Structures are given as structure tokens and as C-alpha cells.
């Protein structure tokens, strides 16, 4: 006998991309969903993100891909050079499938697409201004408490609060959450004439400096792109002045001068910090973690949003198949294990090649990385990793065609 979804009371803490997707999917299969948001008026903040084909497949299952793709930019290639003009990185989606692409999109546009669908569904309760800070499991129920002394009880609690989750430490799961030593400053700027609309471009000076421009389609009625500039995390607390930022970026990449003309206010520059969250599994009895709360990683592979969407999809599928909630969560952890382990490993391995003070690693990168991309077998492995399909070195890839609507 499977879980009776129509009688299942689910609490979702935080309605970012992973949390909103989980709430939307579970309500569509009949669960009674309550979404808790700390802020009074939920809205997404952040820069552009690169959504991979596996994540796009989940959006299609949610009937949200058309809206996202109308606003985003189809990305067909990731192309990086050093200052000498040497190609260091050349990853193409066509090496996976001829018609495949990533989607550059503002985080807010994707967030809005999911929330618009959430608000159309009956029996989804959204409780804003409720900062959930404590949980207690008692048999078949999870009791959660907020700072304003409000409380609620659910059959299943989903923690989608992100890397700074307050609930993760209250679970009976060992974990580590280590800040990365490098972060980034970023800004959202208008696209300029002649700039590529379908390629994520990057430039590197060894691994000490990296700049990138991600086209992200139409946002706020204008064609925009996300500029990111890699810096040691220690610098993030002291935001540079507008002129300091421009001068530093232009020393590495003078061709960005016209693009940077759209940077007119220091308030356009924001800081991004990253962490590496590692857990042996992602559930404790009737509580499960998804998204960055469960497995935050470096953005080097551009997998964050895609992994969060896949978490929500797999969790919903396991709840439809299992006999009870604890069994479903155990199956969820098992189903996600190899996929997430591979991407966390790949992220940790690649990051020092592009963001570090090392000298030998970027030297080897510049000499061998693009040469490796010329070998067809290596290009295919790189492409399968890029799109979010790899399940590990010796396991069959995820089946993008197996992600179907509910």
C-alpha cells in the first residue's frame, strides 16, 4: 500500500527554486501543502543562473518551461580564454544532443514562473513572515516552531532553506558546511550590440582572476546579462568602488568596456559567497533536505538550480511509490546518492583550476584541458557532465526523457 498523498500534510520551509518546485509537484499529486516563508513578501534575489537540460526537463514536467524560455537566453556553448587568446574551455551542448542547450535566466524570472503556478493551485497554503527555527519529531508527526511562537504539525517536512539552513543542525545527520575560499562580485547589466547572445564567455588569468558574462534574455523588459568577477572570499566584505571594480575587470578583459558602461551605480554590484555542504544522506525519519540545504556546491559547474529541481522531482516520485514517508525518504536518499556525489566531486575538483592562488593547476589547465576536449570521448564526458546527466563514472546517465509530467 503506497503513501496516501491526498491525506499527506507536507510543510515546505522556504520557497526558493527547490522549495517552490517541491510544493508545486506535491500539490499536483494531491498532497496538502503549506509553504513557510520568512519574509512578508517573497521575492527572488540574485544574479543570472544557468539552467541545464536536466533542469529544463523538470520545468517541462511542471508546464513552466515555456514561460522560462520566453524570458531566458538559450546557451549553446561555454567558451573561456586566457589573456593571450588561447582557448582554455570549450564546452558545447551539441556534444550531448544536437538540439540541446542550457538556459541563461535571471533567478527572479525562474522564481516568478514557479510561484505563478503555485498561486493558481487550490489548497496550497502560503504562510509568510513565519521564520521556522525549530523542529521536533514525534512518531508520525513533525512539529515545527517559529520565532513568533507560531507552530504547526505535518506528516512530512521539507527543508529547502538553502546553505544557511537553521534546521539542518537539529537533525540526526552528520554533515559539514565549509565556506569556499573564493566568491564573486556580480552585476546585472544591459546587453550591448555585437556581444554573443548564446555563449557564456569567460576569461582567466591563471586561477587568480576570472570574469564571465552570462546572457540571460529578457528581464524587466530589457535584454540583460550577468557579469561575474571572481575574488577571494576575504575581499567580499569590502565592496570596491565603481571605478575600482571597472578598472580591475578591464585590466583582464579590455573588450568589456562598452558592456561596463551600463554599470553606473555601486549598488548594482553584489557579493556572492559559496559553501560546500556534505551529508551522508539527506533525510531523518520524516524530515528531508533538498537543494542547497542538502548539497550546496561551487557554482563552477552551473548545477545548483538543476540539482534542486531534480531533488523535488525525485522526492515526489518516491512518495508516489513507497509504502510510507520514512521509506520514501530513504529511497529518495538512495536515488540521489550517486548523482549528487559525482557533481560535488566534480565541482571540488574543477574549482581550484579556476578559482585559487595555485600556479601549477591552471598551468596544466591551459595546456591540457582544451586538448582533452578535442578527443571525442573526453568531449562527450564533459558534455554529459555539463547537462546534469552524469550519475558517476560507471553508472548509466540520467534519462532526460524519463522526466515526465505528473
Q: What is the CATH number of the domain that holds 107?
A: 3.50.50.60
Whole-model pTM: value is: 0.96
- Split at pLDDT 50, 70, 90, the class of 394 is confident
* Residue 131 belongs to some domain of the structure: yes
- Please state, rounded to an integer, the average pLDDT across all residues of the chain: 93
Reply yes or no on whether the pLDDT at 233 is more than 90.
Answer: yes
Reply yes or no on whether the pLDDT at 373 is more than 70.
Answer: no
Domain total in the chain: 1
Count CB-CB contacts under 10 A for residue 221. Answer: 6
* Residue 305 belongs to some domain of the structure: yes
pLDDT at 393: 86
* Residue 358 belongs to some domain of the structure: yes
As a whole number, mean pLDDT of residues 168-197 equals 94
* Residue 191 belongs to some domain of the structure: no
Contacts of 150-154 spanning 24+ positions with Cβ under 8 A: 152/11, 152/34, 152/36, 152/127, 153/9, 154/9, 154/10, 154/11, 154/34
Higher pLDDT, 47 or 329: 329
pLDDT tens by residue, 327-361: 999 999 999 999 999 999 999 999 999 999 999 99
**Within 13 Å and on the Cβ side, how many CA atoms surround 273?**
14
As a whole number, mean pLDDT of residues 127-143 equals 94
* Residue 264 belongs to some domain of the structure: no
Reply yes or no on whether the pLDDT at 122 is more than 90.
Answer: no
* Residue 394 belongs to some domain of the structure: yes
> Buried (b) or exposed (e) across 99-108, using 16+ Cβ within 10 A?
ebbbbbbbbb
pLDDT tens by residue, 271-304: 999 999 999 999 999 999 999 999 999 998 999 9
* Residue 250 belongs to some domain of the structure: no
* Residue 208 belongs to some domain of the structure: no
> Buried (b) or exposed (e) across 279-291, using 16+ Cβ within 10 A?
bebbbbbbbbbbb
Judge contact between 144 and 132, C-beta under 8 A: yes
pLDDT at 372: 61
**Cell numbers 509568510: residue:** 128
Reply yes or no on whether the pLDDT at 376 is more than 90.
Answer: no
Helix (H) or strand (E) holding 272: strand 270-272
Nearest C-alpha neighbor of 305 from the set 314, 316, 292, 317: 292
Secondary structure (3-state) at 177: strand
Report percent pLDDT > 70 for the chain: 98
Per the structure, the complete domain to which residue 56 belongs is given by 5-179+275-402
CA distance 299 to 347: 8
Burial of 320 (0-12, 13-18, 19+ CB in 10 A): middle
Amino acid at each position: 500500500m503506497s503513501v496516501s498523498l491526498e491525506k499527506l500534510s507536507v510543510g515546505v520551509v522556504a520557497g526558493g527554486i527547490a522549495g517552490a518546485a517541491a510544493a508545486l509537484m506535491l500539490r499536483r499529486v494531491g498532497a496538502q501543502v503549506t509553504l513557510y516563508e520568512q519574509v512578508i513578501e517573497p521575492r527572488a534575489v540574485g544574479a543570472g543562473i544557468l539552467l541545464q537540460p536536466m533542469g529544463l526537463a523538470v520545468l517541462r514536467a511542471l508546464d513552466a518551461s515555456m514561460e522560462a524560455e520566453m524570458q531566458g537566453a538559450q546557451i549553446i556553448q561555454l567558451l573561456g580564454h586566457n589573456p593571450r587568446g588561447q582557448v582554455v574551455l570549450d564546452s558545447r551542448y551539441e556534444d550531448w544532443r544536437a538540439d540541446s542547450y542550457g538556459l541563461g535566466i535571471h533567478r527572479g524570472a525562474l522564481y516568478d514562473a514557479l510561484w505563478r503556478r503555485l498561486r493558481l493551485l487550490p489548497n496550497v497554503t502560503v504562510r509568510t513572515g513565519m521564520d521556522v527555527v525549530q523542529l521536533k519529531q514525534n512518531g508520525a508527526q513533525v512539529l515545527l516552531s517559529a520565532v513568533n511562537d507560531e507552530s504547526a504539525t505535518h506528516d512530512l517536512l521539507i527543508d529547502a532553506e538553502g546553505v544557511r539552513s537553521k534546521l539542518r543542525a537539529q537533525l540526526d545527520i552528520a554533515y559539514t558546511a565549509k565556506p569556499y575560499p573564493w566568491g564573486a562580485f556580480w552585476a546585472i547589466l544591459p546587453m550591448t550590440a555585437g556581444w554573443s547572445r548564446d555563449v557564456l564567455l569567460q576569461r582567466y588569468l591563471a586561477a587568480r582572476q576570472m570574469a564571465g558574462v552570462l546572457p540571460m534574455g529578457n528581464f524587466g523588459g530589457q535584454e540583460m546579462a550577468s557579469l561575474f568577477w571572481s575574488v577571494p572570499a576575504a575581499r567580499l566584505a569590502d565592496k570596491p568602488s565603481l571605478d575600482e571594480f571597472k578598472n580591475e575587470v578591464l585590466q583582464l578583459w579590455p573588450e568589456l568596456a562598452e558592456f561596463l558602461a551600463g554599470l553606473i551605480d555601486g549598488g548594482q554590484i553584489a557579493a556572492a559567497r559559496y559553501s560546500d555542504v556534505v551529508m551522508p544522506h539527506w533525510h531523518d525519519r520524516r524530515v528531508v533536505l533538498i537543494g542547497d540545504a542538502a548539497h550546496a556546491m561551487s557554482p563552477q559547474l552551473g548545477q545548483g538550480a538543476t540539482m534542486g529541481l531534480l531533488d523535488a522531482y525525485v522526492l515526489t516520485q518516491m512518495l508516489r511509490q513507497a509504502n510510507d514517508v520514512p521509506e520514501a525518504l530513504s529511497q529518495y536518499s538512495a536515488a540521489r546518492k550517486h548523482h549528487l556525489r559525482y557533481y560535488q566531486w566534480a565541482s571540488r575538483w574543477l574549482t581550484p583550476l579556476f578559482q585559487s592562488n595555485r600556479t601549477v593547476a591552471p598551468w596544466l589547465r591551459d595546456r591540457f584541458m582544451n586538448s582533452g576536449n578535442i578527443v571525442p570521448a573526453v568531449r562527450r564526458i564533459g558534455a554529459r557532465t555539463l547537462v546534469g546527466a552524469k550519475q558517476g563514472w560507471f553508472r548509466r546517465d540520467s534519462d532526460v526523457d524519463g522526466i515526465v509530467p505528473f
